[in-house]
Structure formats: C-alpha cells, structure tokens
C-alpha cells in the first residue's frame, strides 16, 4: 500500500495492531467465556449451569425428563441489593412499576419486643431506607421471594383450562396463549408470586427463566446475585450444587403447613418469614 511507512518510534502499524491484539486477547477471551451460555463451570459453585443441560449445536436435544429443578436461597448471604429483582424484570419483560414482580426481596427488621417489621420498597430494586425502630433493632435480614415451583401447586390445580401447568422438569409455567385471565391461580397462590400482566392480561410468574435453563444457563436472578445467595440446580441429582446446598444447610420451605411442597429451599430462614 502507498502509505506503508514506518511509524515514529520504529514500530510499524502491523506490528502495533498485532501487539494490541495480543495484549487484549485474555480480556476478549474471558468476556467470551462469560458470555458463552453452556461454558463448563465448576459443578459445586452456585453459578454452575444446570447439570447435563446441553446448549451447543451438535449436542443432544434438551430432554426435560432428565431434569428436576429447584432453587436454594441462603438468607444469611442475601445483602438486599435487589439485583435479582432488577435482572428478572429486564430478562422477563416484567412491568417496571412497583406492583408487579416475579421475584422480590423482603427486609425483616426484628425489634426488641420480638415483633417484626417487613418492607419491600420497589421489590428491593432501589435498596432499602434505614430501618425505623423506636425500641432498637435486634437484627435484620433480607429474604428473596419468588414462585416456589411447588411439587403440589395449588395454582395448577385451580386453573380452569389447564393454562398453568407443571413441566416434567419441575417448573410451573403459564401458557400465555391459553390463559383466560380469570385470576383464580393468583388467588390460590399462598406466596403472592403471581400477577396479571397489565398488557397481556394473562397470569404471569417466575419461570425459573425457563428459556435460559433449557439452554444450559441459570436463571437471571442466580446469574447476577453478587453473594451467591441463590443456588439453582437439580433436586434429585447427587452432584448438583443444589444437593450440596441442601446437604450443608438446615433447610426450610415457606408455609409448609399448606402442603404445597415448595422446591425453593431456604437456608437460615427465620420463623418470622411467611
């Protein structure tokens, strides 16, 4: 080319570009690695892709019969940053107003008289104001909430047309093209995990980010949690991070007396939480 001249300092342009590429390579590679959905990850980390889910082309198709999903939530690890709720809204087209959530974070403030005050301003997305307590605070903690993907789901039982259903891999979903919008499922859910989408006029709820899970990714809330308070994985597989979570923690579920058999397992849950 006409302008192939040596650059000042004695390095020609080709060498300069080459050096830049070489320098940037680790950065680019690590970014690519983070972006790659089914990139192998250590099986015992909270962010591990669901075991044996195959996303890349050429690998076996996703077979729901070989999975059974659940989530673990370590209450002691949650810092109430609300990133999970924000990521969920972005990932799942959840209305941005403060009255529709697929997942949200509650703050419990236990007072000296043993009473609890609970709040969840904008689902915890904007953080929490300093707690107001006249008699002093004994302790305070955050509890992420979401659909419990019950094994015995009252919402599925009551849906008059079968638009909401349990998948073989243990996820409770709503067929938007089928839901008649009667809201009976919302009434039947003991956890307040459902809402009627103001645009589609159909019932909506957490799907465990099913669209991500079937591609070998973890749900968005799990992905963004900075403290690893949420663990996603297989309920029955011994090598699953969820199984490890359940092995090393005393586990509770929400409202066990209702016999809904939730598949969201809480560690370090306080008795005040409902």
Partner 1 sequence: MQGYIYPNEFELQWSLLIVVYPYLTGLVAGAFILASLARVFNVKEVQPTYRLSLLTALAFLIAAPLPLLGHLGHPERAYEILMTPNTRSAMAMFGFVYLWYLMMVLLLEIWFDYRKDLVVWARGKTGFLASFRRLLTLGVTDLSEEALRFDRRAGKLITIIGIPSAFLLHGYVGFIFGSIKANPWWSSVLMPVVFLFSAIVSGIALMLVIYFFSTMLRSRPVDMACMDKLGAFLLYALIVDFSLEMLDFTQRLYEAEESISILGQMLSSRLVLSLIILQVLIGTIVPLVTLFLVAPTVRKRGFLKVPDEFRRLLYFVVAVFIQIGIFSTRWNVVIGGQLFSKSLRGLTTFKVGLLGIEGILVAGAIMLLPLVILYILVKVVPPWPDAEALVESEPTGADPVPAVQPS
Q: Which of 40, 131, 181, 256 binds partner 1 (CB under 8 A)?
A: 181
Dihedral of alpha carbons 134, 140, 98, 126, sign: positive
Regarding 256 and contact with partner 1 (CB under 8 A), the answer is no
Regarding 274 and contact with partner 1 (CB under 8 A), the answer is yes
Measured from the CB atom, the residue of 73 and 218 that comes closer to partner 1 is 73
Measured from the CB atom, the residue of 13 and 274 that comes closer to partner 1 is 274
Regarding 191 and contact with partner 1 (CB under 8 A), the answer is yes
Query: At closest approach, how far in Å is the CB of 102 from partner 1?
Result: 9
# residues contacting partner 1 (CB under 8 A): 43
Q: Which of 161, 168, 236, 256 binds partner 1 (CB under 8 A)?
A: 161
Regarding 184 and contact with partner 1 (CB under 8 A), the answer is yes
Tokens encoding 130: 């300093």
Q: Which of 50, 154, 219, 262 binds partner 1 (CB under 8 A)?
A: 154
Measured from the CB atom, the residue of 62 and 184 that comes closer to partner 1 is 184
Regarding 261 and contact with partner 1 (CB under 8 A), the answer is no
Distance CA 20, CA 264 (A): 47
Query: At closest approach, how far in Å is the CB of 254 from partner 1?
Result: 10
Q: Applying CB under 8 A, which residues contact partner 1?
A: 98-101, 104, 106, 116-120, 123, 145, 154, 157-162, 178-184, 186-196, 200-202, 258, 274
């Amino acid at each position: 080319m006409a302008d192939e001249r040596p650059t000042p300092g004695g390095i020609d342009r080709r060498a300069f570009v080459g050096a830049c590429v070489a320098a940037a390579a680790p950065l680019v590679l690590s970014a690519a690695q983070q972006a790659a959905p089914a990139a192998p990850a250590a099986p015992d980390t909270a962010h591990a892709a669901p075991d044996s889910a195959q996303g890349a082309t050429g690998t076996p198709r996703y077979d729901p019969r070989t999975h059974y999903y659940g989530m673990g939530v370590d209450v002691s690890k949650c810092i109430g940053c609300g990133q999970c709720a924000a990521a969920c809204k972005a990932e799942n087209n959840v209305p941005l107003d403060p009255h529709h959530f697929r997942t949200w974070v509650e703050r419990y403030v236990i007072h000296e008289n043993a009473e609890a005050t609970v709040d969840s301003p904008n689902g915890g997305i904007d953080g929490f104001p300093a707690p107001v307590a006249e008699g002093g605070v004994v302790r305070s903690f955050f509890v992420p909430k979401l659909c419990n993907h019950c094994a015995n789901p009252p919402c599925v039982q009551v849906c008059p047309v079968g638009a909401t259903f349990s998948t073989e891999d243990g996820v409770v979903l709503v067929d938007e093209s089928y839901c008649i919008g009667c809201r009976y499922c919302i009434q039947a859910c003991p956890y307040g995990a459902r809402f009627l989408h103001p645009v589609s006029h159909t019932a909506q709820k957490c799907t465990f980010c099913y669209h991500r899970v079937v591609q070998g990714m973890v749900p968005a809330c799990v992905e963004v949690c900075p403290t690893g308070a949420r663990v996603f994985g297989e309920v029955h597989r011994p090598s699953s991070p969820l199984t490890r979570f359940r092995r090393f923690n005393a586990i509770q579920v929400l409202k066990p007396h209702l016999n809904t058999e939730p598949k969201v397992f809480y560690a370090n849950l306080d008795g005040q939480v409902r």
